[in-house]
Amino acid sequence: DTAVSQTPKYLVTQMGNDKSIKCEQNLGHDTMYWYKQDSKKFLKIMFSYNNKELIINETVPNRFSPKSPDKAHLNLHINSLELGDSAVYFCASSQALTGGTEAFFGQGTRLTVV
In the complex, the residues that contact another protein under the rule CB under 8 A are 4, 31, 33, 40-45, 48, 55-56, 90, 92, 94, 97-108
**Nearer CB in complex with another protein: 14/99:** 99
Contact present, 92 and 103 (Cβ < 8 Å): yes
Instruction: Please list the residues that pair with 22 across neighbouring strands.
Output: 7
Closest CA to 27 of 102, 109, 78: 102
Q: Which CA distances in Å does 54 have to 40, 65, 93, 112?
A: 28, 11, 14, 27
* Minimum CB distance to another protein, residue 45 (Å): 4
Q: Report the C-alpha gap between 34 and 87 in whole angstroms.
A: 12
**Nearer CB in complex with another protein: 15/96:** 96
**Nearer CB in complex with another protein: 18/38:** 38
* Minimum CB distance to another protein, residue 70 (Å): 20
* Minimum CB distance to another protein, residue 94 (Å): 7
